[in-house]
Chain A
Amino acid sequence: MEALRRGRRSSSAVVVYVIILMSLQVFLVTVAAEAYLADDSGMAWATAVASIVLFACAAAFLKYLRP
């Protein structure tokens, strides 16, 4: 029973982390859109790299969830 409760708590924590990462992704999309409007390719690439790193982090969190 205790293990089940601990498992639920950890899976909830993972969901919260992923939600935070997704919020950051949405912010990065706005930054990328601004870079596109301003023809700032340097900023656009930096945003893309950061976004991919965040996606990798979010994907890594999945392994902490029980299948």
Chain B
Amino acid sequence: MIDEPVDPPIWKRDFPYQAAAEEEVTRREFARYLVLGTGALAAGNFGLAVWTQLRSINRGQPRAIVAAADVPIGGTYLFRYPGDDDPAVLLKVSESSVVAFSQKCTHLGCVVYFESDADRWHCPCHEGNFEALTGEVISGPPTRPLGRIDVEIRDDGMIWALGREAV
């Protein structure tokens, strides 16, 4: 008995392929998608760098923050500077002296607060500590000082923010 040639199934006629060749194509396509993915991540990294740079360019315009009489000596006052998304805090050191800093920890951006008993700025996220008057790092994971904001008490009795210092 002689076997008659069998017609290939319809799907094989419509989509002819060779198994080995298909595997190569798939692998190559996979590698190409991966490279495209790394390209997308590189573009994202570049965008983040541009965004970070743009944020640091805005140093803010001079503006009144709060009446000096409303902040007790040794007390703090929270405000936003230079933008509405930039938390900042000032510390009234004496009747004629105030200091102000960005409230964002230079480690990972958590909010710092003033510890009056230890006379320092403290970041509760990773136990970073900064010097009260200069914002320099005392201890913890941060490596850079707090972003300083120039402030002064003017004759009208208001505390003015003059601009953020360059990092």
The secondary-structure label for the interface of chain A is helix
Closest CB-CB distance, A49 to chain B, in whole Å? Answer: 8
Chain B positions 5-64 with a Cβ under 8 Å from a chain A Cβ: 20, 23-24, 27-28, 30-32, 34-35, 37-39, 41-42, 44-46, 48-49, 51-53, 55-56
Centre residue among B31, B44, B109 by max chain A CB count within 10 A? B31
Judge whether B45 and A37 touch: CB under 8 Å.
Answer: no
Option from A37, A41, A51, A58 in Cβ contact (under 8 Å) with B108? A37
18 extra interchain contacts, Cβ-Cβ under 8 A, other than A29-B41, A40-B52? A11-B27, A18-B38, A19-B34, A22-B37, A25-B37, A28-B45, A32-B45, A35-B48, A36-B52, A38-B109, A40-B144, A41-B49, A44-B52, A47-B49, A48-B49, A54-B38, A65-B28, A67-B28
23 contacts between A and B (CB under 8 A): A12-B27, A15-B30, A15-B34, A18-B38, A25-B41, A29-B41, A32-B45, A32-B48, A37-B104, A38-B105, A38-B106, A39-B109, A40-B106, A41-B53, A41-B167, A47-B45, A48-B46, A52-B42, A54-B38, A54-B42, A55-B35, A66-B24, A66-B28
